[in-house]
Structure 1
Amino acid sequence: MHDGPVLDTIDVPLLPLSRTDKSPRGQPRGECAFSSAECIDRRHHMTNHWNERWDALADRLAQMTLERYPEMASYLGVHTYDHQVYDNSETARDAEIRALYSLLREIQSIPRDALSPERALDHALAESEIHHRLIDLEAWRSWTHDPDVPNSIVVGGAFALAKRSFAPPEERLKAVISRLKQAPGVFEHARRQLSEPARVPTEIAIQQVKATVGFFEQSLPAAFRTVTDTSLWNEFEEANRTVIDTYRAYAAWLEEEVLPRAEHSFAIGERLYSLRLKWGEGVDMPLERLIAIGQQELQRLQEEFTATAARIDATRSPREVFEEMAKDHPTADQLIPFTQQMLEELRQFCIDRDVVTIPSDVRCRVEETPEFMRELTFASMDTPGPFEEVATEAFYNVTLPAPDWSPEDVEGHLRAFNRYNLTAISIHEAYPGHYVQFLWLKHAPTRLRKMLGSYSNAEGWAHYCEELFMELGYRAEDPRYRLAQLHEALLRACRYVAGFGMHTQGMSVDEAKQLFIEQAHMEPINAEREAKRGTVDPMYCNYTLGKLLLLKLREDMKRKQGAAFRLRQFHDDYLKAGFPPIPLLREQMLGEVGEVL
């Protein structure tokens, strides 16, 4: 067995990328018992030695990741494992834990300061990634309390193969069939492992599982409607029917047997929250300080929201101004084409204002959010993986109202997509947010950097872009766009406060819902969705956290470079590195660590 548990035995420093005290062999840096030329030769030899050792370990981690997480491999564009599914058995998890501990010991035996700069950053990224996985495997153990885990595995694996035409439909359908045939086993393991169900995550899972049946009944068959091989189609229909039956039985089991006993807490607690921040995001600070930072940001945004609303109509309250503004929204039928038209304007602004290099002319396509994702997202970006060589489609998913919603709920949902909010959302998801960042990912310097990264980097960049556009004067003549951007920022700041609150301070879901209603000016139906999301996505503080980390990095870079600072170059340098934890980028970009916030 491993040397665990990770919570007790692993506590090595995350930073810095280089050390200044000792050389790899323990020799004080700057001293050598040989001549200068001999010292240079020996150091060059040792550097090559450590670089070669590291390259082998980096390849092992990459390969281990792809083999262990075949659905992730499919999304990344590596299709070697398209016929496989994630093995969610305890035996497989125990084997993964042992392998990770073994690899971690080998990685820690390589001195980071003996590596080339890009390898040193990869070394830090790999170490934090392994720690993060071990924390999830040994401490969080989501499969014991979140009933949606098997749904995510099964539908994610099928969706990754159906969405893009990276191979002929017959070839992709064979892989889908293979994954579908393994699905009942995934659910069998999940039933045995769900020992501490929490009520709200169980309620979410019931909704998600029921909604996903529609994906298997309609969307998945439609994705392969051009297949003419009767035998192959019959095999697919049989496997698909079994999966549909499995889903329905699982939903019934959750409702009848699990929900009545779902009395466990969803909160992960202070210790685990701190560890996930440290190893997932590179932020190692007292929770009290981080909570205070979030409260300060929420207050700052509220003050700006109030001032901006007064510019629009000083005779009304800020909430009244925003509610009036929210009436200006497209209908459900208009939402997707309206969004598509908006993207070109945003893209052109990036070019005209020299915001960032856009490394591809391929546009993203706006589509309806897939059924299995509806309950937890308003809008999301689905881009080709960095290793994808054939399919180039990118999809900007927008959640439409459900057919069975009341007129009041439909109106409440669409108000969140008013033309001003939708602009901020599209900046976040497409230009220059997620879509541009993941276009850059293809050009990341190493294999690991194309695969591994942090939540706060990706979401922080996209959220930062919303504020950036306002800084640069986008639609400056109309303060309603600024108010909408602030509204989106208030939503993310409330996620920050609610994430810490629900998981470390005893905040209830109802209290979180009220927070979103009162502080983010959200409709009750959307506020409830946001509060519930926080029970299964404890780190959704990372939108605001990442934005603040990036703003601090930009401020420090400006101070260092002075008049030589160029915004586009800063953004390009940030994006070309992949999406590692932002604190890991600080030393590479700044030449120093310093305060991260």
Structure 2
Amino acid sequence: MRRGAIVFSLVVACGGDTRRASLPEPMEPSSADTELATKIEGFVAGHLAFRPNLAIDIGLHENDGKVPDRSAAAIAAEIARLEAAQRTFEAIDPAKLGHESLVDREVVLAEIRKELYQLAVRRRPQRDPFYYLFGSFSLNPYVARDYAPADQRAAAMLRACEAAPAYYQQAATQLEPALPQVSLQVGLMMSGGVADFVKGDAKKAFASLPDAALRGKLQACLDRLAGEIVTFQGALKSRMPAATPDFRLGAEPLIAMLRATEGIEMDVPRLLELARADYERNHLAIEKAARDIDPKRDVASVIAEVSADKPAADRVLEEATAQLVQINELIADKQIVSLPRPDKVEVRTSPSFMRGNFAAFGGVGAFETAPLPSFYYIAPPDPTWPAAQQQAYLPSRADLLFISAHEVSPGHFVQGMHQRAGTSRVRRMFETYTSSEGWAHYVEEMMWEQGLGGGDPRAHIGQLKNALLRNVRFLVALGYHTDQLTPEDATGMFIKLAFADPGNAKQQAMRGTMDPMFLGYTLGKLIILELRADWQRANPGKSLREFHDQVLSYGEAPLPVIRRMMLGADAGPPLRKR
């Protein structure tokens, strides 16, 4: 156990059933299935070559020590590779494929379209500093996970450290001179966090390495790398005078983004209608919950009282762990979803470069063979904030209960458990935003329905505050990218409409400027709720557990694909107006 961390074993703690509800038996592969599998293997090899950190994250350690090439030539070559792959997989006749291969073809095409959008349409390597600071490259996997002996991980990290200066130099070269001001602000904050991580946690992780020569080389390299990151930070600062105020995608590009990255066809008026309707539904519910507590007081004061019931800052990790025990007892009692593996999750403080949100989940790699834990990260309040703002930032016990359900069980952690237990190679590797965050947000509401919180209206307020936060994200994303909403306006919306504290509200408003897909939490939830209702009508007598297991058997495939696979090709698109 790492110092300051709390280990919680999901299956052992709750006595969970490791059997999954019965799924269709796979058929013998045809020649078309075999041909597709061969082409997928070739595609995956090229995909991971451009994204070595993805390989490390998912537990394929042949790429340990490698750093991505983000030169103009490498980016152009990757776009060309993706375009060729798209033609190849689109040319494969889906009518000749078995069920499993049909899903895999759709998943690969979705990944291709998503990456082409990010590289060729949105042009993130040229327009977004965040692209270089989170996801594309990080030393954190070598530090966070004991997937190999310390000397082996240290040697791999040294190779990466030695190659990393070229990566940050490429980043400074690739980014355009005039960038959105908010993107630069986020980049400056994140680069500071990455530099702090390199100088802090990364150095500490191997400070006691027995091999003195390796230890000395690594420590010196990390010092140089921290300096290189500070130089990159300076390159971002130098762009501030030319920064532009406009970070907006625009309405048509937003729709194109949903189409390319999620396979969702929906116009702005329909998106706005869905966003407003779900906000109103949850707002009415939180008003009722507040009246159930005290019908004589105004709603805001009741919510404020519930929100003030918080664990102390130094007890949040312990509180979250205790809540996970409660959550998983309910999952076992109600047979809500299968738990097919004896995996573990560790609750810990977020690294310095991962503090853009209160909570996050870091799943163990889908191909990892070592018995490693996943991580439920919780970010402490910014120590530079005033004491009152730090206290306001902490979630209430009621909020935290449903955050824990979202991040761990039956949210991201259980979703990852199912991926590792029995999905195909590409479904273990690739994800879509609405499938991942939509599932995790869906389970918050579903768990309340199943009895989490014991019917206490205070717990319901916690669930609904989380829902309203996602509702406002949806509205803010549409306001940012199809209208003229400002970050200041968005901050006010989070405070007024989602009952957020000022620190969280500002954090959420800033996130929306760089993450237009944060509308995907509510959108994905609504698609899954509709799918559940349609599936239950088509399958009377089948259990909720069977529905959940079937959804999770498709990994994080695009939700429209999961809908077609579960309801049939004539099911129609999700959330169409009827």
Pairwise same-fold verdict (TM > 0.5): yes
Measure how far apart 1:481 and its partner are.
0.4
Deviation digits for residues 147-206 of structure 1, max 9, x if unmatched? 23322257x420012111111111111111111112211121121222131111211211
Measure how far apart 1:67 and its partner are.
1.4
Answering whether residue 93 of structure 2 is matched by residue 97 of structure 1, we say no
User: Could you tell me how far apart the structure 2 residues matched to 1:357 and 1:448 are?
Assistant: 22
Superposition map of 1:60-209 within 5 A: 60-152=42-134, 156-195=137-176, 196-209=178-191
Amino acid at match of 2:218: F
Deviation digits for residues 374-415 of structure 1, max 9, x if unmatched? 1x111011121110001421111111123333112211112x
1:485 aligned residue: 463
1:36 aligned residue: none
Match of 1:583 among 551, 560, 563: 560
1:344 aligned residue: 325
Superposition map of 1:407-556 within 5 A: 407-414=387-394, 417-556=395-534
Q: Give ranges in structure 1 of 5+ residues lacking alignment.
A: 1-43
Could you tell me whether the CA contact under 8 Å between 2:206 and 2:215 is conserved in 1? no
Answering whether residue 373 of structure 2 is matched by residue 393 of structure 1, we say yes
Measure how far apart 1:135 and its partner are.
1.4
Secondary structure at the counterpart of residue 518 of structure 2: coil
Deviation digits for residues 514-571 of structure 1, max 9, x if unmatched? 1111110111111011010011111101100110010010000011112x22100110
Amino acid at match of 2:430: L
Measure how far apart 1:425 and its partner are.
0.4
User: Could you tell me how far apart the structure 2 residues matched to 1:100 and 1:142 are?
Assistant: 16
Amino acid at match of 1:561: N
User: Could you tell me how far apart the structure 2 residues matched to 1:157 and 1:57 are?
Assistant: 29
Secondary structure at the counterpart of residue 511 of structure 2: helix
2:287 aligned residue: 306
2:9 aligned residue: none
User: Could you tell me how far apart the structure 1 residues matched to 2:240 and 2:152 are?
Assistant: 40
Secondary structure at the counterpart of residue 366 of structure 2: coil
The number of aligned residues is 547
User: Could you tell me how far apart the structure 1 residues matched to 2:84 and 2:453 are?
Assistant: 54
Query: What is the TM-score with the length of structure 1 in the denominator?
Result: 0.89
Superposition map of 1:350-369 within 5 A: 350-369=331-350
CA pair 569-153 structure 1, distance change in 2 beyond 3 A: closer
Measure how far apart 1:498 and its partner are.
0.8
User: Could you tell me how far apart the structure 1 residues matched to 2:455 and 2:545 are?
Assistant: 24
Q: Which has the higher contact order (CA 8 A, sep 6+)?
A: 2
Measure how far apart 1:264 and its partner are.
5.0
1:567 aligned residue: 544
CA pair 348-418 structure 1, distance change in 2 beyond 3 A: same
2:230 aligned residue: 248
User: Could you tell me how far apart the structure 2 residues matched to 1:254 and 1:105 are?
Assistant: 37
Could you tell me whether the CA contact under 8 Å between 2:393 and 2:504 is conserved in 1? yes
Deviates more, 1:434-443 or 1:178-187: 178-187
Q: Give ranges in structure 2 of 5+ residues lacking alignment.
A: 1-26
1:557 aligned residue: 535
1:377 aligned residue: 357
User: Could you tell me how far apart the structure 2 residues matched to 1:91 and 1:556 are?
Assistant: 48
Secondary structure at the counterpart of residue 365 of structure 1: strand
Amino acid at match of 1:331: A
User: Could you tell me how far apart the structure 2 residues matched to 1:206 and 1:301 are?
Assistant: 36
User: Could you tell me how far apart the structure 1 residues matched to 2:465 and 2:75 are?
Assistant: 42
CA pair 100-477 structure 1, distance change in 2 beyond 3 A: closer
1:12 aligned residue: none
Measure how far apart 1:443 and its partner are.
2.2
Secondary structure at the counterpart of residue 268 of structure 1: coil
